[in-house]
Structure 1
Amino acid sequence: MEPIVHPVFEKQTGTWQYIVACPNTREAVIIDPVLNLDLAELNISTTSADELLAVAASNEYTIIRLLETHAHADHLTAAFYLQQRLLESSQSKPPISTGRRIKLVQERFGKEYNIPQKELDEAFDYLFDDDEQFKIGQISAQVLHLPGHTPDHSGYMVGSNVFTGDSIFNPDVGSARCDFPNGDASVLYKTMQTLLALPPHFKLYTGHDYPPQDSGREPMSFVTVEQQLENNKHVRKGTKAREFVSWRIERDAGLKEPRLLHQALQVNVRGGRLPQSHDGSQRTFLQVPFQAPRSLS
């Protein structure tokens, strides 16, 4: 049995969000939901997440899990917001879930941003083991460990569909950066080869799409394994590991850090919870580190 897949594109960060549902039971999961952050206005809103809730409601889906592929560095997850809204409306609490290696990322960035350990311990309701299987209604799903972009990165195989997060991009975009802590271009190459070894008709749903300006195309949520093998500009059939790794390292050395890096990591290692306010207001505070001369210390 194949799932029903609803791709929902968030334009500001170029993120694909997914609702994946069993057609018989109407049980569904949401993968990589986005909170909207406006840096100019210093405002966090829920427009994109509310769109996901509307799609789920109009199709009479019961959301049974909220899945994260990794601790994103380019957007804030809406997982906790969705969990609270779903709890209010149905008295059920879909667990916020990701791969077990999120603990490595939490340990590093918890220290960097002085996040209380209790907030990290409470961030995720369930952590998957590698290759763990679970059900979406009557459909079997499997967790895939897909490291390289980040060490905690997971994907989800549902029928002949793989939700790859940032482990592979569409053919004319290619691949994700590997210069985050414990990212590794050689490991990403192996991950991409694992995906490309799947049956040629399998659909690889990407976590982002950034259509090249000269392509004239709209954002695409997936292509098949066969299309990736023939056309992926970084790892098409015949690309050697040393070629990919050399190019990726050189490319990453010239990239700026993601615009929302610090805000995203502080929220995402908390599973979408915001730092607690101490004045009873709706304000929250996120740290942004700066380099300063010793004379100002």
Structure 2
Amino acid sequence: MEILKQPMGDYQTNCYIIIIDNKELIIDPGVNATAWVKYHVKNPIAILNTHGHFDHVWSNKELSDDLNIKIYCPKDDNFMLEKDPYALGMTPSCADVLVEPDQEFEFEGIKVKFHHFPGHTPGCSAIEIEDNLFSGDFIFNNTIGRCDFPFSSPQDMKKSINKILEWDRNIRIHPGHGPKTTLFQEKDSLKTWLNYL
């Protein structure tokens, strides 16, 4: 398994390409991600969105059309893809597959699970592939995603933190912004955030 990462746009949103057995999964193609993704992929099989915020899905439609692959997005965030609720001029897209909470998929032998961790957004999910967790805007290095945006919920974020604190494996975490980390490295920070939500 190879992981390519490139920060995109003003918010430096991490776009990931996961390469396994010469097949590629694209996670969170943000602002102006198309050229970088197309340069690096040879056999793309799906676009996976951790959540619906514009800086993570901006290039969804262009890449889906150009590469003829489907978009998978948590069902509770699909409205953000379709309606551009922040009115920033994003080209609307629509998920081909509306992902249910904690749903699992297999893409040509590659197992993928969307772990539902709402709070930052209603559908916010972290995508697990081979003991790597692509956490979107749920967990960052030493912090968590904001939950004071429209459609956010501090109460849901608290439940999501408690949910992942029950995990007893030191999974590698690749956030939507900033450097990678691990779950064990983040546990103290996550426990501290519970006191502020």
Pick the TM interval, shorter chain: 0.7 to 0.9
Shift of 1:72: 0.9
Q: Which has the higher contact order (CA 8 A, sep 6+)?
A: 1
Report the count of equivalent residues.
194
Aligned CA distance change for structure 1 residues 7 and 195 (closer, same or farther; 3 Å)? farther
Aligned CA distance change for structure 1 residues 126 and 85 (closer, same or farther; 3 Å)? same
Aligned CA distance change for structure 1 residues 136 and 8 (closer, same or farther; 3 Å)? farther
The match for 1:244 is 196
CA RMSD of aligned residues (A): 2.6
- Residue 160 of structure 1 pairs with residue 140 of structure 2: no
The match for 1:95 is 70
- Residue 226 of structure 1 pairs with residue 195 of structure 2: no
The match for 1:20 is 18
Greater fraction strand: 2
Give the whole-Å Cα distance in 2 for the aligned partners of 1:182 and 1:11.
Answer: 23
Shift of 1:137: 3.3
The match for 2:167 is 198
- Residue 185 of structure 1 pairs with residue 185 of structure 2: no
Identity %: 26
Give the whole-Å Cα distance in 2 for the aligned partners of 1:192 and 1:75.
Answer: 21
Q: Does the 8 Å contact 1:17/1:34 carry over to 2?
A: yes
Shift of 1:73: 4.4
Equivalent position SS for 1:35: coil
The match for 2:27 is 31
What TM-score do you get using the length of structure 2 for normalisation? 0.85
Question: Which 4+ runs in 1 deviate beyond 4 A?
Answer: 73-76, 103-107, 109-113
Give the whole-Å Cα distance in 2 for the aligned partners of 1:112 and 1:165.
Answer: 19
Q: Counterpart amino acid of 1:203?
A: R
Give the whole-Å Cα distance in 1 for the aligned partners of 2:86 and 2:24.
Answer: 35
The match for 1:78 is 59
Shift of 1:11: 5.7
In structure 1, stretches of 5+ residues that fail to align are: 37-47, 87-92, 114-118, 210-219, 246-297
Shift of 1:204: 1.2
Q: Does the 8 Å contact 1:27/1:136 carry over to 2?
A: no
Aligned CA distance change for structure 1 residues 198 and 189 (closer, same or farther; 3 Å)? same
Give the whole-Å Cα distance in 2 for the aligned partners of 1:142 and 1:223.
Answer: 19
What TM-score do you get using the length of structure 1 for normalisation? 0.58
Shift of 1:240: 6.8
Shift of 1:65: 0.7
1:208 aligns with one of 166, 177, 184: 177
The match for 2:106 is 135
Give the whole-Å Cα distance in 2 for the aligned partners of 1:144 and 1:50.
Answer: 29
Aligned CA distance change for structure 1 residues 136 and 7 (closer, same or farther; 3 Å)? farther
Please identify the structure whose Cα radius of gyration is greater: 1
Q: Counterpart amino acid of 1:70?
A: H
Q: Single out whichever of 4-13 and 138-147 deviates more from structure 2.
A: 4-13
Give the whole-Å Cα distance in 2 for the aligned partners of 1:153 and 1:136.
Answer: 21
Q: Counterpart amino acid of 2:51?
A: H
Give the whole-Å Cα distance in 1 for the aligned partners of 2:5 and 2:164.
Answer: 20
The match for 1:69 is 50
The match for 2:141 is 170
The match for 1:255 is none
Aligned CA distance change for structure 1 residues 85 and 183 (closer, same or farther; 3 Å)? same
